[in-house]
Structure 1
Amino acid sequence: MFHSKLVITNALMLILFLFMYESEGASNSFGLLSVGDGANINQPFAHQKVNLSVYYNSLCQSCAQFIIKDLKNVFDSNLISIVNLRLVPWANAHINNNNSSISCQNGPDECELNSLESCALNLWHKVDIQYELINCFEFLAIRGTINTWKECLDQLGLPMELFLNCFNMGNGTQLGKAYINQIAHLSPSPSFVPWVVVNNQPVGKDYANFTHYVCKAYGGVAVPEVCKSPLK
């Protein structure tokens, strides 16, 4: 009787072992690879979005044209589906050591517009809203009618009071100091604007062709149509 119970117990243990072995094998078949496999341990992160950062300043003709014309393609081509887009104003501004005020390359008007755009970036975290509002501001700047900037909020249906509280209380300028410090720590430092960076790598004078660099950097499978044509 004891011998029979022992045989049954051993059989049950063997079945349990085989079940656990098969379960582990099934898990590995779905890509849970160990370092000993010789596989790339970064593989689980292959579907991460590409970081696209644009450092610029307002009242800059080349910056405005890039934002209005070229950067619009991020949304029109659905490139945004694989991109973390980050807009960073105040690129050519600096903080005065004696009184902590900010000086902008194109004077106080540029500082004011940079402040407006800082408020836009920090009040609304949805990148499409950020872009649409800054696009509107930059369009008015090119047209020379930036003093009508409140129209942009009306057109997009954004709350005026919330925005005015940010701007009138000087929050945009305080945010500007944080942006200036971030830009000061870039390596290499921007030598012109707009300064476009893809996954921490500046693309230099070829910034209008940023789509090429984004598509090349993306390692996922959900590739937008714009990346399926041969890369130049």
Structure 2
Amino acid sequence: MDSQKVNLSLYYDSLCPYCATFIVKNLTGVFYKDLISVINLRLVPWGNAYINKSNNAVVCQHGPDECILNALESCTIDIFHDLDKHYALIYCFEFLAIEGRHKDWQSCFDSLGLPKKPVLDCYISGNGTKIVQKYAEESAHLNPPHTFVPWVVVNNQPLQEDYQNFATYVCKAYKGNGAPKVCQSLVSQEQLD
């Protein structure tokens, strides 16, 4: 990770309508506004899930399909280290979730020209569950604890209810040279307010 870059982490549930909308409509803007050049973006698909202590099973807020998608998205992040690839696949899954077609997730591999076998192998082998459990541990140690999702954190500072204005926080936190144009316009706008 580039030390000059700003760490932006998103803690979310794969079938949470607010999370899906944030990923599809808001977060995608980082790629089009050149903000990604100053961000280390991390996606953490766990959100409000929890581990049932009596049988050690993962329980997801939006049911078993969400647990499956959280694990698949975890495998996607683990397998496709290239941010563009894993973000594109997660974007596709979340777009389908918004449309109520999340069960068609396999179509995303074909539409993006990405191999599905490595992700399915990760999921079937149980590696997805192991990765999800790491995300569970990380989520449990957020300070302050998350109270809803999407939970957006910029350089270890949760944005809480102001998460949709994440770009402003990223621009304020960026200390490197050559800030993206979007940061210059956000700073100018803030000076006017």
TM-superposition CA deviations, 1:127-183 (whole Å, max 9, x none): 111111100000111111112111111122111221211122222122111110110
Contact 2:45 2:135 in 1 (8 A): yes
1:170 corresponds in structure 2 to 126
Q: Does 1:125 align with 2:74?
A: no
Q: Does 1:73 align with 2:29?
A: yes
Q: Does 1:156 align with 2:134?
A: no
1:30 corresponds in structure 2 to none
2:138 corresponds in structure 1 to 182
Partner SS, residue 228 of structure 1 = helix
Which is higher, the Rg of structure 1 or of structure 2?
1
Partner SS, residue 144 of structure 1 = coil
CA–CA separation in structure 2 for the residues paired with 1:78 and 1:118:
25
Contact 1:47 1:221 in 2 (8 A): no
Offset of residue 98 of structure 1: 2.0
TM-score (normalizing by structure 1)? 0.78
2:151 corresponds in structure 1 to 195
Partner SS, residue 72 of structure 2 = helix
TM-superposition CA deviations, 1:54-93 (whole Å, max 9, x none): 0000110100000000001110001000000000011101
Q: Which has the higher contact order (CA 8 A, sep 6+)?
A: 2
TM-superposition CA deviations, 1:174-199 (whole Å, max 9, x none): 21111101100110000111000000
Offset of residue 97 of structure 1: 1.6
Which of 131, 146, 169 is equivalent to 2:102? 146
1:109 corresponds in structure 2 to 65
TM-score (normalizing by structure 2)? 0.93
1:6 corresponds in structure 2 to none
Contact 1:212 1:231 in 2 (8 A): no
Aligned length: 187
CA–CA separation in structure 1 for the residues paired with 2:118 and 2:142:
32
CA–CA separation in structure 2 for the residues paired with 1:179 and 1:47:
22
Q: Where in structure 1 are there 5+ consecutive unaligned residues?
A: 1-45
CA–CA separation in structure 2 for the residues paired with 1:142 and 1:189:
27
Distance 1:49 1:231, change over 3 A: farther
Aligned residue type for 1:141: A
1:12 corresponds in structure 2 to none
TM-superposition CA deviations, 1:92-143 (whole Å, max 9, x none): 0111222211011111111011111111111011111111110000011111
CA–CA separation in structure 1 for the residues paired with 2:13 and 2:19:
7
Contact 2:72 2:120 in 1 (8 A): no
CA–CA separation in structure 2 for the residues paired with 1:91 and 1:128:
22
Q: CA RMSD in A?
A: 1.3
- Once the two structures are superposed, the pairs formed by residues 57-68 of structure 1 within 5 Å of their partners are 57-68=13-24
Partner SS, residue 163 of structure 1 = helix
Identical counterparts, % of pairs: 56
Moved over 3 A (4+): none
Offset of residue 231 of structure 1: 4.8
